[in-house]
Amino acid sequence: MRQGEPNLALLHELAPETERLLERHLATAQEWFPHEFVPWSRGRDFEPGEQWDPQVYPVPDSVRSALFVNLLTEDNLPYYFRTIERLLGADGPWGEWVRRWTAEEGRHAMVIRDYLTVSEALDPIELERGRMQQVSHGVTPEPPNQAEVMVYVALQELATRISHRATGKLLEDPAGYKVMARVAADENLHFLFYRDLVSAALKADPSTLVMAIERQVHDFEMPGTGIAGYTKHALAIAKAGIYDVRIHHEQILVPVVLRDWGVTDLVGLSDEAERARDALVRRIDRIGKAGRRMAERTAERTAEGPAAADESIAAAG
């Protein structure tokens, strides 16, 4: 299968496993209600044009960046739905899954936005302008085929879970922590669905999947791509230790690609897939080294002052 070609045979072969994973998800997922997580008693009326006061909710700017990126990523849901449904289809277990996934993801935007509004953790005007900019442009990663979209969303859902969970831990507010932990728990179930789907696909067509994994690891972008000021926010998020190259290597690439998917143990690969696997393993090793260097430099520069630490993260990125 060439990179942009549809692989309908793979989808057909994976349909029974997709149905099984969907049933597992529905049996595991907990029903919850966004309004029960929001501390409404903190809310108040806002006057038109009112200036936001960051002192109402004192928190480091890096955490504000993470909240901003996390929410706008959830707001951009329609475009992720479009890509996944286009590649995996609207019928059968695929269609049922992507609609259920969309319904669950929609709750994430609801609960995070309501929490941020009543707590005044972010400037609501800046947040709304950012939402309008992000959703109006609809910028998202666009995997070219079925195999690659499965790989991408597996990696992306885990990255999102890590980011939500780590952000919540940095909030000195039990209500905020509870919101982000609840969202992260959903993201983990989504990750498990896609992780195990890729595992099944590797058994069905290992060569195609190895090449897809290599391309997606090579091109991986966090789902915040397209957000106004994303580079600045990403640097702040890395500085706070919420998500950076080291975390990407240690908590995603090694445990998922190398251990769960076992790419180094696969046999019977085509020549092209063997070359892709070699490139993949080398790339993961390089990412690990880069992450460790970044962590070491950041630790050294932190001792020298905040500006030096920022310079270290920017250089590593």
What pLDDT is attached to residue 304? 61
In a domain, residue 121? The reply is: yes
What pLDDT is attached to residue 1? 43
Number of domains the chain contains: 1
In a domain, residue 264? The reply is: no
In a domain, residue 49? The reply is: no
- For residues 304 and 91, which has the higher predicted lDDT (pLDDT)? 91
What pLDDT is attached to residue 308? 47
Percentages (nearest 5) of helix, strand, coil residues in the chain = 75, 0, 25
Q: Give CA–CA dist 98/103, Å, rounded.
A: 9
Q: Which long-range contacts (CB under 8 A, 24 or more apart) does 47-53 make?
A: 52/120, 52/122, 52/123, 52/124, 52/125, 52/126, 53/120
Cα-only R_g, the chain: 20
In a domain, residue 14? The reply is: yes
Query: CB of 312 within 8 A of CB of 297?
Result: yes
Q: How large is the average pLDDT for residues 308-315?
A: 45
Q: Express each pLDDT in 203-256 by its tens digit.
A: 999 999 999 999 999 999 877 878 988 999 999 999 899 999 999 999 999 999
Q: Express each pLDDT in 250-286 by its tens digit.
A: 999 999 999 999 999 999 999 999 999 999 999 999 9
Query: CB of 101 within 8 A of CB of 154?
Result: no
Residue type, 286: R
Please, which pLDDT band fits residue 75 given cuts at 50, 70 and 90? very high
Q: Give CA–CA dist 210/275, Å, rounded.
A: 10
Average pLDDT, the chain: 91
pLDDT over 80 at 5, yes or no: no
What pLDDT is attached to residue 274? 98
Query: CB of 150 within 8 A of CB of 131?
Result: no
Name the token pair of 289.
């080294």
Residue type, 144: P
**Percent of the chain having pLDDT more than 90?**
82
Where residue 112 sits, what CATH number does that domain have? 1.10.620.20
Angle, helices 77-88/92-119, rounded to nearest 10 degrees: 170
Q: Give CA–CA dist 227/233, Å, rounded.
A: 9
Instruction: Work out the number of other CB atoms within 10 angstroms of the CB of residue 2.
Output: 7
In a domain, residue 239? The reply is: yes
Which range of residues forms the domain containing residue 18?
A: 8-43+54-204+223-243
Please, which pLDDT band fits residue 172 given cuts at 50, 70 and 90? very high
**Percent of the chain having pLDDT more than 70?**
92
In a domain, residue 304? The reply is: no
Q: Give CA–CA dist 291/236, Å, rounded.
A: 16
Q: Give CA–CA dist 106/272, Å, rounded.
A: 40
CA 256 to chain centre: 14
In a domain, residue 157? The reply is: yes
What pLDDT is attached to residue 294? 84
DSSP summary character for residue 2: -
